[in-house]
Chains A and B, each alone.
Chain A
């Protein structure tokens, strides 16, 4: 069973701080990872994806992938209260597009 593991949190950070969300995966063949944000009762919203080792930046978000350690992370700079949500890490498993999701990390950004 190919797994994606996340700490469920909650992770609490003060407004303006950097939030660091982490994810590990078991499928060594995984080439890409996706970060989705999910507000309570809503659907997952794609916010970042990363295909290669290293860092990828998009606005306040940076995704980091380390294939040797089977580790992927999401950094959110200048955290805002509106960033408070559950962040889902997902990786493809099997031959197609099927995504396996982690349990998600709940982020709380406090004023």
Chain B
């Protein structure tokens, strides 16, 4: 069964460092997303991406965050200067199309720890 894959599974970084989280969405999917989940809290939307552009972003997704699809398969989330409060599980998701009834499939996540 096709799945969304994410690397690395764990990332430890020092405050102020840049990190790049990587995702390979399901191959025939066109819409890509990043969500995050701080320990014990809700899964929160960060950004959606389609046709090489951001479709929508949340208030969390400030200038420190960026997304990119550098080639035909990868989708990345970059945090330029990490803060302690960026520590969370980051989930990539993808969907086949757009629409309020489209199903999102999530990757296994990257646990980011900022020290």
Contact = CB atoms under 8 A, between A and B. Distances in A.
Interface of A: 30-32, 34, 36, 42-46, 49, 51, 88, 90, 92, 94-104
B75 interface: no
Contacts of A90: 43
Contacts of A92: 100-101
B56 A96 contact: yes
A31 B102 CA distance: 11
Interface in B16-63: 31, 33, 41-45, 48, 55-56
Interface string B84-115: 00000101000100111111111111000000
A32 B100 contact: yes
B91 A97 contact: no
Interface of B: 31, 33, 41-45, 48, 55-56, 89, 91, 95, 98-109
A99 B98 contact: no
Most buried by A among B41, B89, B106: B106
